[in-house]
Amino acid sequence: KAGVTQTPRYLIKTRGQQVTLSCSPISGHRSVSWYQQTPGQGLQFLFEYFSETQRNKGNFPGRFSGRQFSNSRSEMNVSTLELGDSALYLCASSGTSGGYNEQFFGPGTRLTVL
């Protein structure tokens, strides 16, 4: 089974621009979660989607948004980029609808904002 894939792997943007990151979950997984990883704040939860519905959202400004498509692929968008948005963005997929099942992480997208 192919793992979680994230594209692009690296991205450089300038302040004020917007960016879209993509995540393809493991085949058959319907839950996709996004996390931001920075040296200062560590790993922080952004949001989680299941069957195209957002079930949980972290404490991030509205500039951060996401969506999930009918094939379970997910995208996250950051508008009006700030220097502090530079981070590794990790996507994880999971197979069940409730309770808890293992989250499988992708390699991440490294975003640098100049």
Which residues are at the interface with other proteins (CB under 8 A)?
A: 4, 31, 33, 35, 42-45, 48, 50, 55-56, 58, 90, 92, 98-100, 102-108
CA dihedral 13, 109, 6, 37 (to 10 degrees): -130
Alpha carbon distance 29, 24 (integer Å):
10
CB of 100 to other proteins, least distance (A): 5
Name the residue nearer to other proteins (CB basis): 55 or 63: 55
Omega of the bond leading into 8 within 30 degrees of 0 (cis): yes
CB of 16 to other proteins, least distance (A): 28
Give least dist CB 14 to other proteins, A.
Answer: 23
The neighbour count for residue 37, using CB atoms within 10 Å, is: 14
Shortest Å, Cβ 6 to other proteins: 8
Nearer to other proteins, 75 or 104 (CB): 104
Alpha-carbon distance of 114 to 86, in angstroms, equals 9
Nearer of residues 16 and 107 to other proteins, judged by Cβ: 107
Provide the 10 A C-beta neighbour count for residue 11. Answer: 15
Which residue, 53 or 70, has its beta carbon nearer to other proteins?
A: 53
